[in-house]
Chain A
Amino acid sequence: MGGQWLQFVAGGLTAGAIYALVGLGFSIVFNASGAINFAQGEFVMIGGMSAVALLATGLPLSVAIALALAVAVIVGLLLDKLAIEPARNAGTVTLIIITIGASLFLRGLAQLVWDKRIHVLPAFSGEQPIALAGATLLPQSLWVLGVTALAVAVLSWFFGRTLFGKAMLASSYNALAARLVGIQTRTVLLVSFGLAALLGALAGVLTAPITFTSYDSGLMLGLKGFAAAMLGGLGSFAGAVVGGLVLGLLEALSAGFVSSAYKDAIAFLVLLALLFFMPGGLLGARRIERV
């Protein structure tokens, strides 16, 4: 039973780390624009599919991954420049609908640029499972957990210690005040999209060796990442991470101990119950409405 429990936790944390990365992207863009970017899942897909396509041209894996991340960041920046920025004075609902349209567009483009088949990336450091206290872990899972931890650390350093990071946080607290002290909110929005795209693509590249990638793999992951961000408190970075890990664990543990058929239902039921009692998510509301 002990080994089983550990196996479920290992799988749940791996999936949870991916949801955390995607959720972070949601939180960053939400902070900068007040809107939910439903194209976040497509960044994951673009990261994975670009890496597969670049690898197929003969480039070494590390180069293919680096270029794939760059491609996703460019797409994110273009998305902001061409679709979000011109509409920045529209309401948040309009922005959300624009992102939904963008996600459909990107998915359709992916079918044309690549194909509709399922693809796999080679594991970064081999496929030999590692035995650990009765459970087995894939080296790729360690990559996922390690890189996610590193990304979270770098992000906290960026937002907490660098001037531009603090400027981004400031404009999320109060956009008008930030502009008054000279912070370019348009640049903040641009960098937010780029950052969200980078995190999404990172998740895509990390998970492709385990969960495969295809033109529509962004849909499910985007939804779960959004659920993770909501669970942890939309807008909170620590919340996105915690939310992602909790969601991943919930899924794995309900599949393992209750029923694999109902695991999605159970995970989302818990999510709903939690939000019912704590509408601001696990780590609290970021914004307080003054009435």
Chain B
Amino acid sequence: MGPRSSIGAVGRGVAAALATLLIGGGAAAQEPIRIGTFLSVTGPASFLGDPELKTLELYVERLNAAGGVLGRKLQLIAYDDAGDAEKARTFAKRLLEQDKVDALVGGSTTGTTMAVVPLAEGASVPFVSLAGAVVIVEPVKKWVFKTPHTDRMACEKIFVDMKSRGFTKAALISGSGGFDKSMRAECLKVAGQRGVEIVADETYGASDTDMTPQLTKIRASGAQAVLNAGFGQGPAIVTRNHRQVGLTQPLYQSHGVASKEYIKLSGPAAEGVRLPAAAVLVGDLLPADDVQKAVVVGYRDSYEGKYKSEISTFGGHAYDGLMLVVGAMKSAGSTDKAKVRDALEATKGYVGTGGVVNMSATDHMGLDLSAFRMLEVKNGTWALVP
């Protein structure tokens, strides 16, 4: 290699380095904030994941149209785990390692969430889960938060309502899914504290289509009310079978079926069923001075305006998850994962679709019992129980 070609080589090298710096440096300012999500858009939990994905897409678009966050655009990277915990793990790994997301907002079900918790903890990335079971935030994990109310809160709200109607003996019937099992365990734990005795404890399989044997046993147990802890098609079948075997004892469902889909599948048997749910379902029924009214009605109008289909509490949880992360980034002034995590933990007074959120180092959910409203099915739609 002669002197001329080596000067040429050095010159080319310097030019390349300068170009990379310029392009690289320029790109860093434009780099989008990456929000990763893995949701159960298809499969048995699709009524959770589908509105969640639609909500995230809608609001990422809106935030970007309003100028983005911290001067940068938001980029949503979404994968569908179809309700399978193994798939959720694989997609979360891809989000963390390949897509290098700044935060995770996802995990439609307890099963998929718990599969990803070790990954988020190991990668030190803030993870806001959209699933229900209390085990997600208890014991508190440094990087894991959740927006939906816990199953324990649902149990407590239901038991408080039962006591207020004079019922002290309740029957429990639950399915075999992660959420079902977790809620059943929580209800068994807190029933005594709330003055309710569990006199029957039946279970059914996830794809079972006939729960009349279990409900027949419950009929003979002396229960004054029935609590069905579950989600998916099981509760709809339990509701129908409950009517079929002639049970007159009131039926309570969990917040896992707080959607019109459940009412449609259960048919006329759903009349009189009570369940705890977020205020987002009954925006119109809220009094004008209710602290959540504006957020809830705003979410409903935006979602229904774009998608022409009814909202559900699950989409609302995704809205809260996204807004909490965005709020934390704004208050931390950066997307540094540790700073965002600290800001998330310090959230106080955030008014969301699920309730008013006040997080702390020991509480990574931030909701209390007032965030749940007791609803009853009347004439095929929701009514607020005062």
Contacts and interface: CB of A to CB of B under 8 A. Distances in A.
Chains A and B form a bound pair: yes
Interface of A: 3-4, 7-8, 10-11, 14-15, 111, 116-118, 120, 127, 129, 131, 135-136, 138, 207, 210-212, 214, 220, 252-253, 255-256, 260-261, 263-264
Given A4-B220, A7-B245, A117 B203 contact: no
Interface string B182-218: 0000000000000000000011110101111110110
A260 B214 contact: yes
Interface of B: 42-43, 46-47, 176, 202-205, 207, 209-214, 216-217, 220, 233, 236-237, 240, 243-246, 261, 264-265, 267-269
Contacts of A255: 204, 213-214
Contacts of A118: 233, 236, 261, 265
Main secondary structure of the interface of B (DSSP, over half): helix
A129 B237 contact: no
Contacts of B244: 129, 136, 138
Contacts, number: 85
Given A211-B237, A212-B265, A136 B246 contact: yes
Nearest to B209: A211
Given A4-B220, A11-B210, A129 B203 contact: no
A116 B207 contact: no
B209 A117 contact: no
Given A10-B212, A129-B244, 14 more contacts: A117-B261, A120-B236, A127-B240, A127-B243, A127-B268, A129-B246, A136-B244, A211-B210, A252-B213, A256-B214, A260-B202, A261-B203, A263-B205, A263-B213
B176 A212 contact: no
19 contacts: A7-B212, A8-B212, A11-B213, A116-B42, A118-B233, A118-B261, A120-B236, A120-B267, A127-B240, A127-B268, A135-B216, A210-B209, A211-B209, A212-B236, A212-B237, A252-B210, A255-B214, A261-B203, A263-B213
Contacts of B240: 127, 210
Nearest to A11: B212
Contacts of A8: 212-213, 216
A116 B43 contact: yes
Nearest to B247: A136
Contacts of B176: 261
Contacts of B233: 118, 212, 214
Contacts of B203: 260-261
A120 B261 CA distance: 11
A117 B47 contact: yes
Nearest to A138: B244
Contacts of B246: 129, 131, 136
A262 to B, nearest CB: 9
Q: 6 smallest A-B Cβ distances: which pairs?
A: A211-B209, A256-B213, A255-B213, A11-B212, A7-B216, A261-B203
A133 to B, nearest CB: 13
B212 to A, nearest CB: 4
Contact of B207 (A111, A120, A131, A220): A220
Indicate the member of A111, A127, A131, A255 with the most B CB atoms within 10 Å. Answer: A255
Nearest to B173: A260
Given A211-B210, A212-B209, A212-B233, A120 B216 contact: no
Contacts of B202: 260
B209 A15 contact: yes
A264 B265 contact: no
Nearest to A6: B216
